[in-house]
Amino acid sequence: MPENPVHQRLQADPDTVERDLIKLVLTIVELLRQLMERTAIHRVDQGDLSEEQEERIGMTLMVLQERMEELCERYDLTPNDLNLDLGPLGSLLPRDL
């Protein structure tokens, strides 16, 4: 009897499960990083932040970006690997990564 197609899709390759999990986690972190960056830019444009706050947010975003690059390199991922295709909705992240 042939296997149910659903069961075939749900079988994870034990050799890639760690990388796939890291890819999912990094995708979520990258989405949040981009949202934080856009929020910070908006707040700077509105003049809502002191110079010290702007400096601190800028440094935090730079460190987060560096860590993301390190983790992508460690797991042999590119920024485009983190961009999920949402079908008719388009991609999760902007294409110009």
Q: Where are the domains of the chain?
A: 17-75
On whether the pTM is more than 0.85, the answer is no
Phi then psi for residue 34, to 5 deg, are -65, -40
> For 49, which DSSP code?
S
Decide if pLDDT at 62 tops 90. Answer: yes
Q: Apex CA 20: angle with CA 80 and CA 39, to 5°?
A: 50
Given this model, what pLDDT does residue 6 score? 46
- The least confident of 22-26, 65-69, 73-77, 91-95 is 91-95
Closest by CA position to 23, among listed 66, 62, 96, 78: 78
Tokens of 82: 């983190």
Task: Give the pLDDT confidence of 3-47 residue by residue, as tens digits.
Answer: 554 444 556 677 788 888 888 899 999 889 889 999 999 999 999
3-class secondary-structure state, position 91: strand
Residue 48 CA to residue 43 CA, distance in Å, equals 5
pLDDT confidence tier of residue 93, bands split at 50, 70 and 90: confident
